[in-house]
Amino acid sequence: MAFPRSELLEVAWADATDPAAVADAAGVAVAVVGVPVLETPDGPAVAPGVPATVVVSVGGDGLGTALDTTRARQRGFKGKVGQTMVVVGERSAQGSLGAEAPAVVFVGCGRATDSDDAVGATALRRAAAALVRAGGKSGAGVLVLPASIVGEVVGSRGAVQAVVEGAVLAAYRFVSHKRDNEGGGIERFVVAGAGLDTGALAEGTRRGLAVADAVCLARDLVNEPPSSLTPTRFAEAAEEHTDGRPGVTIEVWDEQRITDERLGGLLGVARGSAEPPRLLKIAYEPSDPVTVDGRVPHVVLVGKGITFDSGGLSLKTPEGMITMKTDMSGAAAVLAATSACGDLGVRVRVTAIAPTTENMPGGRATKPGDVLTIRNGRTIEVLNTDAEGRLVLADGLTLATELEPDAIIDLATLTGACVVALGMSIAGLFGSDDGLIGRVRAASERAGEGTWPLPLPEEYRSHIDSEIADMKNVGKGGQAGAISAALLLAEFVEEVPWVHLDIAGPARSDEDNGILAKGGTGFGVRTLLELLEHYGPD
């Protein structure tokens, strides 16, 4: 059975100075035209460079060039990022695209980032998402992207890529298990570049689709019901998706291989489930590698893959289990990112390691007080079976360390304590190397995914001291829960530069908002791809 994938919003690009080209790219009747608006001290202002005629003309006037500031003030529209003001079009004078002209959506892009009129990639991403959500009817949506708001830092290609990502991710819907899919919304999205190079338009569109597809893969995996996405099925889906991907190969370890490789943490968590565990190793070899000091840099990604977490014998509450199919978000992210590396021309070696299992309270389940032996021989006393993610990651990080890479990055929905500290939108960022921490932080900012550095104080190491083993899997009650979990992981990376992203909050959204749809968010995929694309010589 093929793994069901959500259909991506169709995207095209066109030269906005040529109305016929825009109409051809739209392919269907244009429903909405988005006009970027800047927030200025004097009120909202249409971005310079918006052409007088975008798609069609209405009564001889250029569509979308006039912004009624009085009406904007009445509606509270200031041009802030993601704000929209919809103006319904009148009957088209030309009528070439239907009896009714498209609605004009003035889309806020926020304040310019410098003395020019440029805005950042995050603002463009959110503006495109706002247009998709404001469209509300079938047909094509067109966003005019004038060169005036494209800054040197983002660049034309990067600006187009950000717009495409925002549009596709905002349009995402998981409907695989719906009999009656109402659909609705725009069918096609056109980036209408005004003054932008056609090469940048084409390449930015291609890259934006590649990134968005990777994020949507992660979302699809996370949103799939846990009984139909068991560890075995997750591995099969990974094999299906990576088949034929440029430079990507995959290896799947079954339970016997996991036993032979002495992955005691993974086996201990899996013990209570009727579903056998799996471990995935996805490798990417670049066709055009970059070299540093005579060798190709190698980055290893490790993702927590608990396909369902009941808490084990330390059972969660019924409410606490409702979203626990989300507990494999880290594994989904590293799979999705690695599989997209070839399409984006990543020039470093990448290996993704995803230990996957269920955490269930079966008759053979690990008991509080048991001691598990990790692959590297270190022992962990399990005092809470609901703190299982760090146990499977200990094995995954050990395997990563043995590859002697230049960097290790793990992603995990690890602790509720991180949600308490940083909320639902920001991931906790821990690490052993300031240089790598800075790289990951910068990549997350460019990708528009929130991260915030948290400390790993040596004096807190005593929180995980055990009387009978090398360490215990929980710290002191009510104190520094995210830090104690990260300190345990740090025990398994040796001297390799390492970053841990605790994505327990942003891995799931409780509402449709901006580029996010309710459910799995695919958080981390864009950050990883941004990092890997720019990884190389400092």
What residues are annotated to the active site?
316, 390
Nearest of 178, 169, 184 to residue 225 by alpha carbon: 178
Q: 161 — phi, psi (to 5°)? A: -60, -45
User: What is the spatial distance between Cα 145 and Cα 499, in angstroms, rounded to a whole number?
Assistant: 36
Task: Identify how many contiguous H helices and E strands the chain contains and give both numbers.
Answer: 15, 23
Pairing of strands 140-146, 10-15: unpaired
Q: Is 525 helix (H, G, I), strand (E, B) or coil?
A: helix
Nearest of 400, 386, 272 to residue 327 by alpha carbon: 386
User: What is the spatial distance between Cα 234 and Cα 282, in angstroms, rounded to a whole number?
Assistant: 13
Q: What is the DSSP string of 201-244?
A: HHHHHHHHHHHHHHHHHHHHHHHS-TTTS-HHHHHHHHHHHHTT
Neighbours of 228 (CB within 10 A): 13
User: What is the spatial distance between Cα 458 and Cα 465, in angstroms, rounded to a whole number?
Assistant: 12
57, 33 contact by CB (below 8 A): no
Q: 250 — phi, psi (to 5°)? A: -135, 145
CA atoms within a 13 Å half-sphere pointing along the CA-CB vector of 507:
33
Say if residue 1 is exposed, middle or buried (CB neighbours under 10 Å; 0-12, 13-18, 19+): exposed
Which residues make Cβ contacts (< 8 Å) with residue 493, sequence separation at least 6?
397, 400, 401, 408, 432
Q: Any idea what DSSP says for residue 195? A: S
For the four alpha carbons of 108, 112, 117 and 122, in that order, the dihedral sign comes to: negative
- Provide the token pair at 520: 């799995």
Region of 357 please: left (phi>0), alpha (psi -120 to 50) or beta: beta
